[in-house]
Amino acid sequence: MEIFKRQIKFIEDFEVQLHAQLEFAIREFDFVIKDYVINKQLFREGMDGDGEKLPGYKRTTIRLKIIKGDPADRMTLRDTGEFYSHIQIDAFNDRFEITSNVDHDVFILSRLKKQGHPNILKVTDENIIEFLSNYYLPKLKEYVNKQFAK
């Protein structure tokens, strides 16, 4: 009978644990989410979290990018690297938020929002599915296995 009590308790607590394990995975692997946003989305593809291409650079900026050896065919939002280095992830039990606390982030984000890109610091659906598959689900399976190994 004790096993049934444990199973019932597990089922009753499972929703809370789904959220808790997601929070743990995000906190432990926040560097992966940062990599998705910074490298996979912004730098390599020049796209926002909705998968939309960011607007191209103006002619003067293109010249400067070419001189520096940076990509000029897409907007990457990386000039000095300061914006990228200040991106942080805050995990909560039901969500996570990606922000940048560099002084000029307000100007970058508001300018792009006016241009139709409100989700610069959002993870694309493709990347969040990859994160959930590779990082969250293994954590959740580990938790479930521990509960039934007792």
Assess whether pLDDT exceeds 90 at residue 103.
no
Phi/psi zone of residue 47: left (φ > 0), alpha (ψ -120 to 50 degrees), beta? beta
How far apart (Å, rounded) are the C-alpha atoms in residues 33 and 139? 16
What is the average pLDDT across 4-15? Answer: 83
Q: Is the pLDDT of residue 135 over 80?
A: yes
pLDDT of 63 over the 90 cut: yes
Check residue 3 and give its pLDDT: 72
Give start and end residues of each alpha helix (H) in 88-134.
Answer: 105-114, 125-131
pTM: 0.86
Q: Considering the domain boundaries, does residue 74 fall inside one? A: yes
Higher pLDDT, 105 or 114: 114
CA distance 103 to 73: 26
β-partners of residue 99 are 88
- Per-residue model confidence (pLDDT) at position 60: 93
Q: Per the domain annotation, does 10 fall within a domain?
A: no
Checking if the pLDDT of 150 tops 70, the result is no
Question: In the numeric block, which tokens belong to residue 98?
Answer: 């990606």
Within-domain flag for 96: yes
Domain assignment present for residue 6? The answer is no
Flag whether 5 is in a domain: no
Q: Which helix (H) or strand (E) holds 17?
A: helix 2-28
Kindly state the average pLDDT of the residues 33-61.
Answer: 95
- Residues contacting 131, CB < 8 A, separation 6+: 29, 32, 33, 36, 123
SS3 91: strand
| Domain count for the chain | 1
Q: What's the average model confidence in pLDDT over 97-113? A: 89
Q: What is the pLDDT, as a whole number, of residue 23?
A: 94
Least confident of 37-46, 82-91, 123-132, 138-147: 138-147
Tell me, yes or no, whether 139 lies in a domain. Answer: yes
Which residue range is the domain that position 103 belongs to? 16-149
